[in-house]
Structure 1
Amino acid sequence: MKFINVKNLFLEITYKITMKKLISLLVLLIFFNFSYSQNRVGDTGFISFTIEEENDQIDFVIADTVLNTQKPLLLFCQGSTPMPLFMDVGNNRIVPMPLGNFDLEEMRKHYHVAVISMPKTPMIVEYGELSEQYFYIGNSGSKNPTEEFSLADYIENYVRRANVVIDYLKTKDFIDFTKLVVCGHSQGSRVAVGIADANEDVTHLGLFAYSYERRIDGIIRKIRAQAEKGEITWEEADAKQSSQYEFYKRVLNDDSLKIRPHLTSWRSFSKSTIEELASLEIPVYIANGSEDISCANTDMIPLYFIEQGKTNYFIKRYSGLEHNFFPIVDGKPDHKNGEWKNVMNAFIEWSLDN
């Protein structure tokens, strides 16, 4: 009869289990090579998080100061400019930028509301580091975004960074991942479509001032509108549109891209997202202003869903409002009477019922 050395057998089993744990740990380190931290943002009602990657830093905030209540996540995607999450206005005052338009008290009743900082953009900046349009230019003295931002400003990067944040938050007990709402405004709505298409955890999608066409399409359409209104002649419109066509040729030219790498953004956002949108099975909410010419193609979106035999969409048009949901008065946006809070609250109510 062969006797088993129990002590040696125990050591062998322990060794194998330990090696499996070490291998699992190494795999995690390889695929999740980042460190993170979290802090309250000054005296604001936000907690900031920083994920340090090898070649990137992802800053994001949650609009709350106490994270002891489990709620679903609502991730908001900003528009196209590198607007910082906060502006330091001096005298120890820090004010929120993109989330400052919303009724956060109402949103927090139902969700942990998060927004990710734009790539290569500090989370908090001083007023002097902003352009007249309130996007980050640093100390360059330029009126344009920084070169670092321009090189990182492409849709694949936004979707990747968002999924890193989502994966990180999935490890947190205060997030209820039975529901994940992703929404975005303008260019951010295109990013939101990309996230929903790539991440099966997304359960609801909200698109504000969304255009599924190429970025340049809206510019060409606006030129036509100027001519229709008599603001420019049709000959001037022809010249302006021709200039845009020549620019688009450079966008698609690989040699031009090597000389002007900032055109990477234009090429990235020159792909239609309608097929991705129409392929989704989750509920989709789309809202825009009637005066936003860049969203004129919204009228065509139902056709794509109908062709797929789908009814999982809802479209809301806000009469008299423009791209940022301000009313048009005497031909100009009335910035004192914005409707963003009402627009977002209507979406929140829809998300709770669908």
Structure 2
Amino acid sequence: MAQTPVSGTDCLQFEIPGKKGSIQFIQVGADTSAVLPALIFLQGSQPVPLIIGTDEYKHVVLPFDYQKVAEKFHLFVIAMPNTPVEAVISALDENSCFVIDHDEPNSYDPEYLRNNVLENYVERTHRVIDEIVSLNHINGQVHMAGHSQGAKIAAVVASENPDVKSVALLAFNAFGRYDERIRSDRHALKSSKISGEQYQQRLADHYGRWQHIQQDPDDYASGNNAWVSFSIDYLPFLLKTDIPLWVGYGTEDISAENCDLLPLHFISAGKENLQLKPYAGWDHNFFDNEGTMHWNTVMEDVVEWLKAVE
């Protein structure tokens, strides 16, 4: 497996074949002199390049201090399918997503849309793990941390891959994806942001759209394929997993608000490998109600837990 330094960064880039095209990933921190465990970070759901270049510098797109993480683990991040590892900022939209036409909103690469399904991400992650464990600077230990959509992928991979030793799931909805739309409107009703009549109409709209999605589940241009593939119950995968699991979430995150129900299922199944960490008052990306982001705190907790269970 070839590895190439990424100019202007402290990263190594790798490329391997996959079932649906090549798989690219990076190691953040190019120092391979120390033999350490590997940590794969699986990001969320948008086609954001891993490295963004400006006229003055290149920025590794991670929301936490990756250099501190790299002191304990060799940190790897997998590129989104059909999305370049590196792109200049002018090639991105206002959300830092890679687009093919700036005049058209959400003009993502059609191949990205086609391949933006859970099964493909799981297969890609398995392939990357197969390669990482063979690297001389990895001590044979592979751990994962996934955020949002990445947590869903990590939950499935961890249940299937014996090389994964522990997994941290952040901002995780273990019970699907589409349900978040209904729960969001339920919160809007409770906080008097919408009326009872509006809530009822929105419910009807959600049910109607879900019926439409189910009638054409392979429609990638409309995103139906992604909705169907990710809107599943992840609890069976979690209960199948015997390695240590850590779930961290903000209590103001509607998508992850049901994480506090997970221990009930684990207790009923007689399993003791789950640790839950609610962050009171923080949202999906670990911002508090004053707008301060706490990603570094979360990752410090993740690393401390990973080292404890390693």
Tell me whether the two structures share a fold, i.e. TM-score over 0.5.
yes
Q: Which of 95, 109, 112 is equivalent to 2:59? A: 95
What is aligned with 1:12? none
Change (3 A) 1:260 1:123: closer
Aligned-residue offset at 1:143: 2.0
Matched, 1:176 2:139: yes
**1:350 is the counterpart of 2:305:** yes
What SS does the aligned partner of 1:214 have?
A: coil
Between the aligned partners of 2:248 and 2:200, the Cα distance in structure 1 is 31
CA contact (8 A) 2:113 2:220 kept: no
Query: 2 CA distance for matches of 1:142 and 1:313?
Result: 44
Deviation at 1:102, TM superposition (A): 1.7
Residue in structure 1 matching 2:123, options 160, 168, 179: 160
Question: What is aligned with 1:48?
Answer: 13
Q: Does residue 1:297 correspond to 2:258, yes or no? A: yes
Aligned pairs for 1:167-246 within 5 A: 167-177=130-140, 179-246=141-208
Could you tell me whether the CA contact under 8 Å between 2:18 and 2:127 is conserved in 1?
no
Matched, 1:63 2:22: no
Q: Secondary structure at the match of 1:90?
A: coil
C-alpha distance 214-43 of structure 1, shift in aligned 2 (>3 A): same
Task: Say which SS state the counterpart of residue 118 (structure 1) adopts.
Answer: coil
**Is 1:117 matched with 2:79?**
yes
- When the two chains are superposed, the root-mean-square deviation of aligned CA atoms in Å is 1.6
1:135 and 2:118 aligned: no
- What do the CA deviations read for 1:34-72 (whole angstroms, capped 9, x no partner)? xx4321122212111122457412110111122121111
What one-letter code is carried by the residue in structure 1 that aligns with 2:225?
Answer: T
Whether the 8 Å CA contact 1:250–1:257 is kept in 2: the answer is no
Instruction: Work out the CA distance in 2 between the residues paired with 1:245 and 1:214.
Output: 15
Give the number of the structure whose alpha-carbon radius of gyration is greater: 1
1:257-286 superposed Cα distances (whole Å, 9 cap, x missing partner): 358573111110111101111221111000
Q: Looking at secondary structure, tell me which structure has more helix per residue.
A: 1
Paired residue secondary structure (1:181): strand
Q: Which amino acid aligns with 1:149?
A: Y
Deviation, structure 1 residue 343: 0.4
Residue 142 of structure 1 and its aligned partner are, at CA, apart by 2.4
Distance 2:138 2:241 in 1: 24
8 A contact 2:260–2:276 mirrored in 1: no
Q: Which sections of structure 2, spanning at least 5 residues, go unmatched?
A: none
1:318 counterpart (268, 273, 279): 279
Structure 1 residues without counterparts, runs of 5 or longer = 1-35
Distance, in Å, in 1 between the alignment partners of 2:53 and 2:218 is: 36
Matched residue, 1:9: none
Q: Alignment partner of 2:83: what SS?
A: coil
Partner letter of residue 74 of structure 1?
A: L
Does residue 281 (structure 1) correspond to residue 281 (structure 2)? The answer is no
- Provide Cα deviations, 1:175-229, integer angstroms capped at 9, x if missing partner: 111x211110001100000110110111101000001122111111001111111
With the length of structure 2 as denominator, give the TM-score of the two structures. Answer: 0.94
**Letter in structure 2 aligned against 1:173:** N
How many pairs does the alignment contain?
A: 308
Shift of 1:128: 2.4
**Superimposed CA distance per residue, residues 273-305 of structure 1 (whole angstroms, 9 cap, x where no aligned partner):** 011112211110000011111111112101110
Instruction: Normalising by structure 1, report the TM-score.
Output: 0.83
Alignment-mate amino acid for residue 131 of structure 1: D
Decide whether the 8 Å contact of 2:18 with 2:124 is kept in 1: no
Structure 2 equivalent of residue 150 of structure 1? 113
Q: Work out the percentage of aligned pairs sharing the same amino acid.
A: 30
Query: Which structure's relative contact order is higher, taking Cα pairs within 8 Å and 6+ residues apart?
Result: 2
Which stretches of structure 1, 4 residues or more, deviate above 6 A after TM superposition? none
